[in-house]
Structure 1
Amino acid sequence: MIDTVVLDVGETLTRDDRYWARWADWLNVPGHTVSALVGAVVAQGRDNADALRLVKPGLDVAAEYAAREAAGKGELLDESDLYDDVRPALAELRRRGVRVIVAGNQTAKAGAMLAALDLPADLVATSGEWGVAKPDPRFFARVLLESGAAPERTLYVGDHPQNDTFPARAAGLRTAHLRRGPWGHLWADAPELIAAADWRIGSLLDLADIARP
């Protein structure tokens, strides 16, 4: 039985298309260019920020992020960015007595915007707030600290094998890989992913019966 479900954010709860579209606008290139380059670096197993450096070689992503924020063209995240299954899935988990935690690799600003959405969750946290990001084992140690449940009764849900499934499994958590977004689709049938994931799902609505049938 699973007592706590912990969910990644990008391409698990939220769509990333607006995030990349705003970067494309800032760098003055077509949105398709950035999207295609994100796909390319994902397929190569590289950091997705490398897509921005391909558009603008030598780009200091952190400095450029700060410049966007200062210009009033920074991060935005609202209800329209959520996938349709998020609210019903999380609400059903809580109805069944499962603790729900949202924890992903996002900025502190994104964390505040997520918290403002008043999701059916017991805790919303980001790497920017915790000071440590996936796949660092310390991130998953913090997840377990917040879970309040044993590792084998804590389920981590995400789309990205290298950031979610593999390190969560290494930390002793149960894992569910979500076939969603570029990472989720690209590696969904990879043998190493199949071996590492306790469950492979196509919707967050599948989680209720996994956690507490």
Structure 2
Amino acid sequence: MPHDRGSRIRCWGNARRRDARVRNLGRLAGGAAPYFYIGLRGSHRSRPGLPGGLPGFPARVRSGRGTRARARAGQPESYSENDLYPDVRSALSKLRAMGVWVGVVGNQTVRSGQILRSLDLPTDFIATSDDWGVEKPSPAFFSKVVEVAPCSAAEIVYVGDRIDNDVAPAKAAGMRTAYIQRGPWGWILRDMPEVAELSDWRIRDLSELPGIVATENEC
């Protein structure tokens, strides 16, 4: 569905209307956010059919009962700087240099959020579903995204790799959406008609985002 022109991008997250300027980016990586998607590479590449929690995250940090069960067994999720896709820091840094508010959110554990914060990523906000007590695709999760962002829903671009968990609910919440074709779900769902119907943009990596913001905010 083509998006209307006129709104500026202030946050990275999600936005549907285009009657305000965009100043924020959102949705964390590997499920994104203005929440921004932060890409993590890793074991999902050898397990392409594995469902995901955050776009691009390695399988070992996926959310859900399996992750919590492993944590109780003394094997909590773990990842580091080496698990980030190479475009993460440069893309987020460019967005912040443009005055874009960058947030990272997704269906993850409290521990996962702590790890992300410890990486000192160029973001303004990081939160997980366990932090908030509500998970995607609940409308309450996306209401939280709008609540914490310093802009309206129409000024948020939400980046995600799933239709059901990311793009559709973000669009319903009034955000603009960018579908990222990366990670297992990004490839599994890439040919679904909903990708074209519900996404304002379709990207393959984070390096495309600064250009999108520059173009939109010039209009």
TM over 0.5: yes
Contact 1:158 1:164 in 2 (8 A): yes
Bigger RCO (CA 8 Å, 6+ sep): 2
Q: Which has the larger radius of gyration?
A: 1
Aligned residue in 2 for 1:117: 119
What is the TM-score when the length of structure 1 is the normalising length?
Answer: 0.77
Consecutive unaligned residues in structure 1, runs of 5 or more: 22-31, 43-60
Q: Summarize the Cα distance change of 1:95–1:192 in structure 2 as closer, same or farther, 3 Å threshold.
A: same
Q: Summarize the Cα distance change of 1:162–1:8 in structure 2 as closer, same or farther, 3 Å threshold.
A: farther
Structure with the largest fraction of helix: 1
Q: Please provide the CA RMSD for this pair.
A: 2.3
Contact 1:98 1:212 in 2 (8 A): no
Comparing 97-106 and 74-83, the one that deviates more: 74-83
Contact 1:2 1:210 in 2 (8 A): no
2:198 maps to 1:199: no
Q: Once the two structures are aligned, what percentage of the paired residues are identical?
A: 41
2:11 maps to 1:4: yes
Consecutive unaligned residues in structure 2, runs of 5 or more: 1-7, 13-25, 32-36, 53-63
Q: Partners of 1:131 and 1:114 in 2: how far apart?
A: 18
Q: Partners of 2:164 and 2:196 in 1: how far apart?
A: 13
Report how far residue 17 of structure 1 moved: 3.8
The secondary structure found in structure 1 opposite 2:50 is helix
Letter in 2 for 1:2: I
2:40 maps to 1:15: yes
Q: Summarize the Cα distance change of 1:37–1:199 in structure 2 as closer, same or farther, 3 Å threshold.
A: closer
Q: Summarize the Cα distance change of 1:108–1:200 in structure 2 as closer, same or farther, 3 Å threshold.
A: same
Contact 1:141 1:171 in 2 (8 A): yes
Contact 1:159 1:177 in 2 (8 A): yes
Aligned length: 180
